[in-house]
Chain A
C-alpha cells in the first residue's frame, strides 16, 4: 500500500508493524481517536496507530470505506456490518474489537461485541469454555458454590457440562 499525501483529504495511517495505508479523511474520522488528531492538527504527516497491526488495520479501513459510502440509512448500515463480520473468525473478531476500542469507533465496537455475544448466547457454560478455550480453574466444590449462588440463572438450562 503506497502512502498518498498529495490531496488534503487523504490521511496516511501506520500500523504497529510499519505498514502504511491511505484512507479518505471523511472515512477515517469514524474513529474518534483519529478525528481528534485531525482536529488538533496532528494529522499532517503519518498517523501512527501503535496498538493495531497491519492485517487488522486493513480490515478496519475496509469497514471505514464501506460504511461511510452508505448514506444515512440505519438498516443498510446494519446489513453491511452483518455482512462484513459474517466470515470473521473469533481470532479476527478479538483483534477487531481491540482495534475498535483503541480507535474509539463505537459502531464497529458494538457490532463486533454483539457478534461475540451472539456466539455465547443460549449456550451452556461448558460449551462456551470449549469454544473460547477458557480453562476452568475452579475446583468442583468452588464451581458448585458459584452455581448455587446464582441458582436462578441455571434453572431450565441444559447442563451438558463435562468439565
Chain B
C-alpha cells in the first residue's frame, strides 16, 4: 500500500480506492456527473487521465456555468477526443433546457448522434433539466440511432409543425428498451414507426404523457415484457392493443387496454390498472397462471360487472375505489395471499353498502384481508374475519358509530394503527367500546353479540428500532418516547 503515507489522511485510511482496477473506477464514475468525473483528475497523478476514457458521457446545461456556445463546444471537443482515440461510448446522457438547443442548433444534435452511433452508443438518454423546460424541435435522428439498445427521451416538445419530418422515423432494430415521456407524437407517426419494423428485440416500452396518442397498437411486439402507459384524462381516450402472451408487467393509467376474450396472459406477473376505461369483464375469461400482483384503482368499469380472476398464484390484490366491486378469485393453492381493500364512501353507508361489502369480503375470505375505510360509514349476518381494520379521515364524533358499524360485519384481528399522540382520543374511544363489557353497564343487543365473540383485547405498541409490535397498556402510553414509538394498535382475539 505505497500511497498510505499522505500527511492529511485520516487515521485508518489506506488508499484502497486508487488501487482499484480502471474498469471499476469507470463504473464508479458512471454515477458521477461529467463535472465531478473530470474533477477527479486533480486528486493525484494516477487519477489524472482515468476519467478520460470512461465509457459514459453525461452533460447537463443546467449545471454548466459557462454560456451556450461553451457548452456546445465542450461536448463537441469531448466527442472529438473519443472519436480520435477510437474510444467507446456506451451511454450518452444529455440534459437540456430551453435556449441551449433550439431549432437553429438542432443540427448539432444530429451531428453528435451520428458520431455517437459511430462510437457504438447503446444507451441514449435525453431529458429536460427543468420541469417546465421545452425544446422546440426534436430531430427524428434522436429515435433512429442504429446502434441503440436503450432509448430514453423525456422532453417536452412544443412544435406541431414538423410532423412531416417524423413520418420517416425508423427505430433502431437493436432497441430493447424504449422510454418516451412528454413527447408530442402524432398517432400516425408513432404507429407507423412501430409497425414499419418487426422490432423483434424490444422488451421494455414506456409511453408516458405523450401528447396526441389515440391508438397504440403493439400487437406485433412479440418479445415485449414490460409495458407501461400513462396519460392524462384531459388527453382523451387512447386505445391500447397488446400481444398478451409475452407480457410480464403491464401498467396502465388512464387508457383503454384492449385484448380479446380469453386472451393468453401466461407470463403476466403484475397488472396495474388506474382509472382505465377498458371493458374489464374480459378479464373473467382469461387465465393468469403467473399473476402475483393485481392492482385496480378507481376502475369504474367494474361497477356493473361480476369479476372473476383465474390467478391461482396471486400474492397481492389491491383495490381502491369509491364503490364496492364484485371480485372473486379462483380457488388458490394453500399458499397465503393478501387482499388490500380501500373504500371511499361518499354517500354515507347504507345497509346495502354493508351487504355489498360483506359479499366482497366473503369472496376474498381465503386471503388475509386488510380493509381500510376512508370517510364515514355507520351500520348481521356472520361477520367475516379481517386481518387488519384501519381508519382514515374520520372525525372523533362519528368514530364510535363507525367502529360499531365495522364490527357488525367483520372480525378484525387488529384495529389500527393509530398515532400515539395525535389519535389519543380515538385510542381512548376504542378502549371504551371494547372494555365496556367489563364495566357492568347494561349492554345493547349489538354489544352483547360483539362481546359474546370477543375473547380478549390487547393493546400493542410498535417498536421502530426492532420493527415489532409489543404488548402494552393504556396507562403505560405516556411513558413512551415518540422517537422510538409512535404507533399503537388493538389486538383482538375472537372466539
For A139-163 the 0/1 string (1 means CB < 8 A from B) is 0000100110110111111000011
Query: Is A97 interfacial (CB 8 A cutoff)?
Result: yes
Query: Is B86 interfacial (CB 8 A cutoff)?
Result: no
**B43 close to A117 (CB less than 8 A):** no
Shortest beta-carbon distance, B209 to chain A, in Å? 21
Count the B residues whose beta carbon is within 8 Å of the partner chain — how many?
49
**B64 close to A132 (CB less than 8 A):** no
Chain A contact residues: helix, strand, loop or mixed: helix
Known contacts A125-B43, A147-B42, A152-B66: A113-B36 contact under CB 8 Å? no
**B16 close to A91 (CB less than 8 A):** yes
CA distance in complex: A14, B135 (Å): 56
**B14 close to A134 (CB less than 8 A):** no
Query: Is B8 interfacial (CB 8 A cutoff)?
Result: yes
Shortest beta-carbon distance, A32 to chain B, in Å? 15
For B356-398 the 0/1 string (1 means CB < 8 A from A) is 0000000000000000000000000000000000000000000
Partner-contacting stretch, out of B17-25, B403-411, B454-462 = B17-25
Shortest beta-carbon distance, B58 to chain A, in Å? 12
Count the A residues whose beta carbon is within 8 Å of the partner chain — how many?
45
Query: Is A68 interfacial (CB 8 A cutoff)?
Result: no
Shortest beta-carbon distance, B194 to chain A, in Å? 25
Query: Is B220 interfacial (CB 8 A cutoff)?
Result: no
> Which residues of B lie under 8 Å from residue A136 when comparing CB positions?
6, 43-44
**B27 close to A110 (CB less than 8 A):** yes
**B28 close to A150 (CB less than 8 A):** no
> Which residues of B lie under 8 Å from residue A138 when comparing CB positions?
42, 44-45
From 1 to 22 in chain B, residues with beta carbon under 8 angstroms from any chain A beta carbon are 3-10, 13-18, 20-21
Query: Is B292 interfacial (CB 8 A cutoff)?
Result: yes
Query: Is B153 interfacial (CB 8 A cutoff)?
Result: no
Which of B13, B21, B39: most chain A Cβ within 10 A? Answer: B39
Which of B10, B27, B35, B40: most chain A Cβ within 10 A? Answer: B27
Q: Which residue of the partner chain, among A90, A117, A155, contacts B65 with CB atoms under 8 Å?
A: A155
Query: Is B269 interfacial (CB 8 A cutoff)?
Result: yes
Q: Which residue of the partner chain, among A131, A137, A154, contacts B39 with CB atoms under 8 Å?
A: A154
CA distance in complex: A115, B310 (Å): 43
> Which residues of A lie under 8 Å from residue B270 when comparing CB positions?
72-73
**B39 close to A134 (CB less than 8 A):** no
Which of B4, B20, B74: most chain A Cβ within 10 A? Answer: B20
**B292 close to A132 (CB less than 8 A):** no
CA distance in complex: A137, B44 (Å): 6
> Which residues of B lie under 8 Å from residue A126 when comparing CB positions?
8
> Which residues of B lie under 8 Å from residue A9 when comparing CB positions?
none
CA distance in complex: A60, B44 (Å): 31
**B6 close to A133 (CB less than 8 A):** yes
**A130 close to B21 (CB less than 8 A):** no
CA distance in complex: A109, B44 (Å): 25
Query: Is A94 interfacial (CB 8 A cutoff)?
Result: yes
Query: Is A101 interfacial (CB 8 A cutoff)?
Result: yes
For A52-91 the 0/1 string (1 means CB < 8 A from B) is 0000000000000000000111000000000000000011
Known contacts A109-B27, A117-B29, A162-B8: A134-B20 contact under CB 8 Å? no
> Which residues of A lie under 8 Å from residue B4 when comparing CB positions?
133, 135
Query: Is A121 interfacial (CB 8 A cutoff)?
Result: yes
CA distance in complex: A136, B468 (Å): 49
Known contacts A120-B32, A155-B65: A101-B24 contact under CB 8 Å? yes
Query: Is B482 interfacial (CB 8 A cutoff)?
Result: no
**B45 close to A137 (CB less than 8 A):** yes
Query: Is A7 interfacial (CB 8 A cutoff)?
Result: no
Q: Which residue of the partner chain, among B45, B47, B70, B269, contacts A152 with CB atoms under 8 Å?
A: B70
CA distance in complex: A137, B2 (Å): 12
**B13 close to A133 (CB less than 8 A):** yes
Query: Is A107 interfacial (CB 8 A cutoff)?
Result: no
CA distance in complex: A36, B20 (Å): 25
Query: Is A43 interfacial (CB 8 A cutoff)?
Result: no
Q: Which residue of the partner chain, among B17, B21, B70, B269, contacts A132 with CB atoms under 8 Å?
A: B17
> Which residues of A lie under 8 Å from residue B45 when comparing CB positions?
137-138
For the A-B complex with A71-B269, A97-B28, A116-B28 known, give 9 more contacts whose Cβ atoms are closer than 8 Å: A90-B17, A98-B20, A113-B27, A114-B31, A121-B32, A126-B8, A132-B18, A135-B15, A153-B35
Some 20 contacts from A to B, beta carbons below 8 A apart, are A71-B315, A72-B248, A90-B17, A109-B27, A113-B28, A113-B30, A116-B17, A118-B31, A129-B44, A132-B13, A133-B9, A134-B44, A135-B5, A146-B41, A147-B42, A149-B41, A152-B64, A152-B65, A153-B34, A153-B38
Kindly list the 6 A-B residue pairs having the minimum CB-CB distance in the complex, ordered from nearest: A133-B13, A117-B31, A135-B6, A155-B65, A133-B9, A153-B35
Write the residues of chain B forming the contact surface with A, with a CB cutoff of 8 angstroms: 3-10, 13-18, 20-21, 23-24, 27-32, 34-36, 38-45, 47-48, 64-66, 70, 74, 248-249, 269-270, 292-293, 315
